[in-house]
Amino acid sequence: MNPLLQNFETAPFSNIKNEHFKPAIVKAIEDARTEIEEIAASKEDPTFENTIEALEFSGKQLDLITSIFFNLNSSETNDEIQKIAQEVSPILSDFRNDIILNNALFKKVKAVYDQKEVLDLNLEQQMLLDKKYKAFSRNGANLSEDKKQQLREIDKELSSLSLKFGENVLAETNRYTLHITDESNLAGLPKDVIEEAAEVATAKDKTGWIFTLEYPSYIPFMKYASNRELRKELALAFGAKGFHGDELDNQENVLKTAKLRFKRANLLGYPTHAAFVLEERMAESPEKVETFLNDLLQKAKPAAEREFNEMDDFARELDEIDRLKKWDASYYSEKLKQKLFDLDDEKLKPYFKLENVIDGVFTIANKLYDLNFEEVFDVDVYHPDVKTYRVTDENNREISLFYADFHPRPGKRDGAWMTSFRPQYVEKDRNLRPHISIVCNFSKPTKNTPSLLTFNEVTTLFHEFGHALHGMMADTIYPSLSGTSVYWDFVELPSQVLENWCYEPEALEIFAKHYETGEVIPVELIQKIKKVANFQEGMATLRQISLGMLDMSWHGIDPTSVKDVKAHEEKAFESTKLFPEVPENCVSTSFSHIFQGGYSAGYYSYKWAEVLDADTFEYFQEEGIFSKEIAQKFKDNILSRGGTEHPMELYKRFRGKEPQPNALLKRAGLIKK
């Protein structure tokens, strides 16, 4: 019996074998296809209920199965799962296109859409109707049959390319190790970093210490290791992922993806992939994105150049470094920060034990939104590292099930993300609550030390938990409008705004406690955290702008003449360049956000959402960072409403006005307060 084809309340991980996935997906597609055909073949006149709602609630089992499968492919994959992913992705792509390119179905959807002015629909129903119609019209429903077939082929190939890109990046990350046997080469590294590297070596049956390209290993080495040649070796390995001209090379995948996306956009009547994507974003057009990035560039670049020159002078004075290279950036940035502020992660980490930070973010969610989190042990998980929590409100009503997966392992891709195993929606008057997950890559505890987070990891946890709150507190009728199903340049608001609490004394006092003594973080350290918040903010902003521009350079143009990924990338980086170019490295070949994730023509949205989050937090600060009144307004108008209205309307209802960019520029220190 296939557990994926049974009714289950939570994902039955321990009963699932790899061989269950493909048959379950194929069967669920058959069932969903039957549901779709019944809608399309109905003799009744098309209505909102028998067409739009029926379409919305079709294929629920397929959605559940694929969410489990693709989440595992990101967080607990293996060769067999990756092979299945390559097999089922074209099948799923075909099925999606069978729906979108079904003429009979589209006619029914269009018939309802054409009546929308006379239908008595509420705002959420209007948005669902608009979304369903655009799902067809923006994806080929109006094309001729031969062009529909071209679209099918493109979509299948893009699906396969995305998977292959991600598999290559993960394989590159896993295959490289820096094996150190001479203890003198560990100079500068903190004790817990050395200890963890020794445990990695032991696990691999080696003596000495092993460092990897996983973030908890890579980042502290780049920040603290005194040996410049070893920093260079590790940085070159990190920056060359997918750029070795071998079986894991991603250059051809990048070129094919960019060109196929352009071709697809043209088929649908758009000049570029960015024009297609941005039509359904707050930014609306490539021109607005480019103006936004260039305006930020004008304000950030002078500050970035000053900061770079200051660091360059400092490195020359300290170590007679002739010219700063990319593998010097983290090291001398950290040294300069320590000199200017007498603050480094090693002083902070003892106050950020992972368990305390988790309790802290839970407490803050309780103070703002009256949520309660209880760890439970009766929920099936896909790996022993995964923790599960039942989330309830002040009346003990179920709000969500929450999964948390914090540590790196070979089957998990780099980075941090939020996802779900089941969205929130209402079915037959029952409000089905969501199953939300966050996945991170924080340092594991060692035999002597618990998992202690860097301050950057603390903000990462808060960021992903902000996304999780958006998913948990969803309160909509329809699953496709629920939680984080919003415009892509709006989705980062709940995540980025929560990071602000990491800098506030009232919040830090809740969870920043020394893991050995229980001492609350001293006031002087909190003051230093606040002061350091804008350290090298110009350079950090320039980095984000450069990635946004790289994204638009692939997706905002006709890329058919691009032959050389590296040359194209260098041109895109011209206006934001600070460090000398590294010929051996290439960003695009491991830029998973835009070539594997959903950020193509959307990477700008991190900075876009910063405008929203700075403006939002300014509102909280005016009333108090734990203001129940502002939190309730944020919950009612942002967190619970998902994609039920245009995000600017939701934002204006919350804030009373459109967002003010100056809040971001002031917070970043790029203009005077």
DSSP code per residue over 436-505: EEEE--PPPP-SSS--B--HHHHHHHHHHHHHHHHHHT---S-GGGSTT-S-TTTTTHHHHHHHGGGG-H
Tokens 């009547």 correspond to 269
How many C-beta atoms lie closer than 10 Å to residue 333's C-beta? 20
- pLDDT band of residue 668 (cuts 50, 70, 90) is confident
Q: What domain range is 72 assigned to?
A: 3-142
- In this predicted structure, the answer to whether residue 587 has a pLDDT above a threshold of 80 is yes
Tell whether 122 is covered by a domain. yes
DSSP code per residue over 150-167: HHHHHHHHHHHHHHHHHH
Mean pLDDT on 323-338: 96
**So which residues are the catalytic ones?**
464
Q: What size, in residues, is the chain?
A: 673
Residues 586, 602: Cα–Cα separation, whole Å: 20
Residues 468, 163: Cα–Cα separation, whole Å: 25
Residues 38, 55: Cα–Cα separation, whole Å: 10
For residues 490 and 376, state if they share a domain: yes
Strand order in the sheet with 417-422: 372-376, 387-392, 398-405, 435-439, 417-422
- pLDDT band of residue 672 (cuts 50, 70, 90) is confident
Per residue in 27-51, pLDDT tens? 999 999 999 999 999 999 999 999 9
Tell whether 134 is covered by a domain. yes
For residues 272 and 359, state if they share a domain: no
- In this predicted structure, the answer to whether residue 119 has a pLDDT above a threshold of 90 is yes
* DSSP 8-class letter at 374: E
Per residue in 197-251, pLDDT tens? 999 999 999 999 999 999 999 999 999 999 999 999 999 999 999 999 999 999 9
Query: Token digits for 641?
Result: 């409403």
Q: Provide the strand spans (E) within 305-353.
A: none
Tokens 């210490």 correspond to 209
Q: Which long-range contacts (CB under 8 A, 24 or more apart) does 491-494 make?
A: 491/467, 491/605, 491/609, 492/605, 492/606, 492/608, 492/609, 492/610, 492/613, 493/609, 493/612, 493/613, 493/616, 493/638, 493/651, 494/466, 494/467, 494/469, 494/470, 494/638, 494/639
For residues 125 and 79, state if they share a domain: yes
- In this predicted structure, the answer to whether residue 618 has a pLDDT above a threshold of 90 is yes
Are 529 and 348 in contact by the 8 Å Cβ rule? The answer is yes
Q: Provide the strand spans (E) within 540-666.
A: none
Are 422 and 379 in contact by the 8 Å Cβ rule? The answer is no
- In this predicted structure, the answer to whether residue 673 has a pLDDT above a threshold of 80 is no
Residues 570, 406: Cα–Cα separation, whole Å: 35
Residues 548, 542: Cα–Cα separation, whole Å: 10
- pLDDT band of residue 661 (cuts 50, 70, 90) is confident
Are 583 and 542 in contact by the 8 Å Cβ rule? The answer is no
For residue 255, how many C-alpha atoms fall within 13 Å in the half-sphere facing its CB?
14
Is the model more confident about 670 or about 552? Answer: 552
492, 508, 525 — which closes off a domain?
A: 525
* DSSP 8-class letter at 351: G
For residues 516 and 545, state if they share a domain: no
Taking alpha carbons only, the member of 40, 25, 35, 162 closest to residue 101 is 40
Tell whether 562 is covered by a domain. yes
- pLDDT band of residue 346 (cuts 50, 70, 90) is confident
For residues 517 and 446, state if they share a domain: yes
Q: What's residue 667's pLDDT?
A: 85
- In this predicted structure, the answer to whether residue 360 has a pLDDT above a threshold of 80 is yes
Tokens 């009979």 correspond to 104
Mean pLDDT on 53-71: 97
Q: Which residues pair with 435 in a beta bridge?
A: 401, 422
For residues 234 and 267, state if they share a domain: no
Tell whether 101 is covered by a domain. yes
Mean pLDDT on 135-149: 94
Tokens 């002031």 correspond to 666
Per residue in 549-586, pLDDT tens? 999 999 999 999 999 999 999 999 999 999 999 999 99
- pLDDT band of residue 14 (cuts 50, 70, 90) is very high
Q: Give, for 420, the enclosing helix (H) or strand (E).
A: strand 417-422
Rounded to 5 degrees, what angle do the CA atoms 112, 114, 116 make? 70
Sign of CA dihedral 56, 62, 64, 69: negative
For residues 553 and 639, state if they share a domain: yes
For residues 509 and 492, state if they share a domain: yes
Mean of the per-residue pLDDT values for the chain? 96
**pTM recorded for the entire structure:** 0.90
Mean pLDDT on 50-60: 97
Per residue in 432-456, pLDDT tens? 999 999 999 998 898 889 999 999 9
Per residue in 400-411, pLDDT tens? 999 999 999 999
Mean pLDDT on 258-268: 98
- In this predicted structure, the answer to whether residue 158 has a pLDDT above a threshold of 90 is yes
For residues 393 and 494, state if they share a domain: yes
For residues 230 and 267, state if they share a domain: no
Contacts of 436 (CB under 8 A, 6+ apart): 400, 401, 402, 403, 418, 419, 420, 421, 468, 471, 472, 483
Domain count, the chain: 4
Instruction: Report the CATH number at residue 455.
Output: 1.10.1370.40
Q: Which residues pair with 437 in a beta bridge?
A: 403, 419
- H helices of 575-604, where? 592-595
Rounded to 5 degrees, what angle do the CA atoms 96, 101, 106 make? 110
Mean pLDDT on 347-355: 96
Tell whether 363 is covered by a domain. yes
525, 555, 580 — which closes off a domain?
A: 525
For residues 494 and 579, state if they share a domain: no
Tell whether 516 is covered by a domain. yes
Instruction: Report the CATH number at residue 645.
Output: 1.10.1370.10
Q: What's residue 607's pLDDT?
A: 93
End-to-end CA distance of the chain: 65
Query: Token digits for 611?
Result: 């405008």
> What amino acid occupies position 630?
I
> What amino acid occupies position 355?
E
Residues 443, 407: Cα–Cα separation, whole Å: 6
Tell whether 147 is covered by a domain. no
Tell whether 74 is covered by a domain. yes
The CA radius of gyration of the chain, in Å to the nearest whole number, is 25
Query: Token digits for 17?
Result: 């074998």
Instruction: Report the CATH number at residue 112.
Output: 1.20.1050.40
142, 165, 189 — which closes off a domain?
A: 142
For residues 109 and 85, state if they share a domain: yes
